[in-house]
C-alpha cells in the first residue's frame, strides 16, 4: 500500500510541475474518473468500504446505510472529514488521486516534503557567489517547470468524465459560456448520467419509423412526418446545439431546461428521438396525439423520458428513448 501511495503522489507532484490542472492529474491517476457526489455505482461502494475500514468516526458519518454505493450527503461528509484529518491538499469531498491514495494507504503524512522536495546534494564551492552562466541557465530552466500563478488552470468544474469535460469546455472556448459546477450538478439532479457516444442505432431508428408511421395512419389530418425531427447526436453536435441556442440570445439556464449539456444527452446513444415537433404549444394543441404517443410508445419499444417537469427539464412528449420490447 505504501508503494502505491508513493507512486501516485510522485506522479501527482511531477505532473503538477507541468502546470496541469489538479482535476486532469486526478483523472490520470484514477483512470479518467473522479468519484463524486451524485454517483451511484460500485466505485462509490468501494470508497465507502475504505472509509469504514479507516475508522469508527468515518463509519458513523456514513450512517446506517453504510456501503450502499450511493454518494450522498453522508458519504460527502465522511470523505471531507477524512481529507481534513489526513491533512490532504484538497478538502472538497471528492475522491480523486490524492484521496484515493490516502484511503489505500491510510497513512498520509501532513508534511509531504519527503516526497515533494528534490534530493540534491549540497554543493561546496570556493568560487564567487555570483552564479556562473551554466548555473544561471539551470536555475532558469528549473523555474520554468513550476506553474506560474498567471498560467494556472482556472477550471473549477468536472463531470467526472474526461471526454464529456472536453466537450463542455468547447461551450466556453467557442461560445463564451461560463461553465460552472452548478450547471453540471443540475444535470445529475435531473437524473441524467454521462452517456457514451455510440453512434446511430439502426434497430432504434427502424422502430421509431414504425411508431411515426402508425401515428400518421391514426391521425391522417395532422400531416405528420415519418422521419424524426432529431435522432443521434455526437458530443460535438450537442456542443453546436446547446451553444447555438445560447448564441441566439437565450440564457444558459433557459436552454438547459430543454437541452442537455454535452455528454449528458440521450441522443448520444443513438436510441433517442424527437418526433413531429419540439414545441410545447404544438403538442398542447394536439392532445389526442399527445395521449396516443404516451400510451402506445411502449408497444414499439420506446419510453417517454420526460413525462413531466423534472428538477431541470420541462415535460417533453416528443422525446422518446428506445428501451426495447
Residues 112, 208 within the same domain: no
Q: Look-up: residue for cell 484521496? A: 99
CATH number of the domain to which 241 belongs: 3.30.1380.10
Widest Cα–Cα separation across the chain = 99
Residues 207, 317 within the same domain: yes
Residue 111: per-residue pLDDT: 35
User: What are the grid coordinates assigned to 301, written together?
Assistant: 419499444
CA 240 – CA 235 distance, rounded (Å)? 9
Residue 38: per-residue pLDDT: 77
CATH number of the domain to which 38 belongs: 1.10.101.10
pLDDT digits (tens, 9 = 90+) for 251-301: 999 999 999 999 999 999 999 999 999 999 999 999 999 999 999 999 999
- Bridge partner residues of 70 (DSSP): 40
Using pLDDT thresholds of 50, 70 and 90, give the confidence band for residue 151.
Answer: very low
Residue 143: per-residue pLDDT: 45
Mean pLDDT of 96-106: 79
Question: Quick check: is 137 in a domain?
Answer: no
Asked which of 116, 140, 155 is the last residue of a domain, the reply is 116
Residues 315, 208 within the same domain: yes
pLDDT digits (tens, 9 = 90+) for 116-134: 434 444 444 444 444 444 4
CB 78 within 8 A of CB 50: no
Pairing of strands 302-306, 316-322: antiparallel
Asked which of 90, 116, 142 is the last residue of a domain, the reply is 116
pLDDT digits (tens, 9 = 90+) for 238-260: 999 999 999 999 999 999 999 99
pLDDT value at 136 more than 80: no
Asked which of 58, 87, 116 is the last residue of a domain, the reply is 116
pLDDT digits (tens, 9 = 90+) for 34-73: 888 878 777 888 888 888 888 888 888 898 778 887 888 8
* Cα–Cα nearest to 63, from 75, 54, 53: 75
Residue 110: per-residue pLDDT: 34
Residue 128: per-residue pLDDT: 44
Residue 4: per-residue pLDDT: 53
pTM value > 0.75: no
- Secondary structure of 89-130 as H, E, C letters: CCCCCCECHHHHHHHHHCCCCCCCHHHHCCCCCCCCCCCCCC
Domain of residue 82 covers: 2-116
Q: How many domains does the chain have?
A: 2
Residues 222, 112 within the same domain: no
Residues 206, 318 within the same domain: yes
Question: Quick check: is 253 in a domain?
Answer: yes
Long-range contacts of 225-229 (CB under 8 A, 24+ apart): 225/276, 228/273, 228/274, 228/275, 229/273, 229/274, 229/275, 229/276, 229/277, 229/278, 229/318
Residues 221, 315 within the same domain: yes
Q: Look-up: residue for cell 398542447? A: 284
CA 98 – CA 89 distance, rounded (Å)? 8
Helical (H) or strand (E) element with 303 = strand 302-306
Residues 108, 214 within the same domain: no
CA angle 87, 89, 91 (to 5 degrees): 80
Residue 26: per-residue pLDDT: 43
Residue 243: per-residue pLDDT: 96
Question: Quick check: is 313 in a domain?
Answer: yes
Task: Tell me the pLDDT of the chain averaged across its residues.
Answer: 80
Using pLDDT thresholds of 50, 70 and 90, give the confidence band for residue 33.
Answer: low
Mean pLDDT of 95-111: 67
CB 290 within 8 A of CB 320: no
Residue 135: per-residue pLDDT: 45
pLDDT digits (tens, 9 = 90+) for 160-206: 999 999 999 999 999 999 999 999 999 999 999 999 999 999 999 99
Question: Quick check: is 130 in a domain?
Answer: no
Using pLDDT thresholds of 50, 70 and 90, give the confidence band for residue 106.
Answer: low
Amino acid at each position: 500500500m505504501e508503494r502505491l501511495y508513493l507512486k501516485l503522489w510522485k506522479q501527482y507532484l511531477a505532473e503538477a510541475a507541468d502546470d496541469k490542472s489538479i482535476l486532469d492529474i486526478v483523472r490520470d491517476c484514477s483512470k479518467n474518473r473522479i468519484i463524486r457526489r451524485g454517483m451511484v455505482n460500485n466505485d462509490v461502494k468501494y470508497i465507502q468500504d475504505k472509509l469504514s475500514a479507516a475508522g469508527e468516526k468515518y463509519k458513523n458519518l456514513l450512517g446506517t446505510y453504510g456501503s450502499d454505493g450511493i454518494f450522498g450527503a453522508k458519504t460527502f461528509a465522511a470523505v471531507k472529514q477524512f481529507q481534513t484529518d489526513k491533512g490532504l491538499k484538497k478538502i472538497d469531498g471528492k475522491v480523486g488521486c490524492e484521496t484515493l491514495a490516502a484511503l489505500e494507504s491510510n497513512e498520509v503524512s501532513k508534511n509531504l516534503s519527503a516526497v515533494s522536495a528534490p534530493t540534491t546534494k549540497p554543493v561546496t564551492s570556493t568560487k564567487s557567489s555570483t552564479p556562473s552562466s551554466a548555473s544561471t541557465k539551470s536555475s532558469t530552466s528549473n523555474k520554468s517547470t513550476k506553474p506560474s500563478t498567471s498560467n494556472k488552470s482556472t477550471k473549477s468544474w468536472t463531470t467526472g468524465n474526461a471526454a464529456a469535460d472536453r466537450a463542455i469546455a468547447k461551450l466556453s472556448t467557442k461560445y463564451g459560456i461560463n461553465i460552472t459546477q452548478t450547471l453540471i450538478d443540475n444535470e445529475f439532479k435531473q437524473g441524467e448520467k454521462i452517456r457514451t457516444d455510440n453512434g446511430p442505432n439502426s434497430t432504434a431508428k427502424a422502430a421509431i419509423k414504425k411508431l411515426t408511421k402508425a401515428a400518421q395512419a391514426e391521425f391522417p389530418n395532422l400531416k405528420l412526418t415519418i422521419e424524426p425531427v432529431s435522432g443521434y447526436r455526437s458530443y460535438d453536435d450537442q456542443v453546436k446545439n446547446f451553444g447555438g441556442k445560447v448564441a441566439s440570445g437565450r440564457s444558459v439556464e433557459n436552454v438547459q431546461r430543454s437541452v442537455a449539456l454535452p455528454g449528458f444527452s440521450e441522443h448520444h446513444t443513438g436510441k433517442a428521438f424527437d418526433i413531429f415537433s419540439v414545441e410545447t404549444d404544438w403538442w398542447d394543441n394536439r392532445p389526442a396525439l399527445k395521449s396516443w404517443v404516451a400510451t402506445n410508445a411502449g408497444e414499439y419499444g420506446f419510453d417517454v423520458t420526460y413525462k413531466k417537469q423534472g428538477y431541470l427539464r420541462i415535460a417533453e412528449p416528443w422525446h422518446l428513448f428506445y428501451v426495447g420490447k
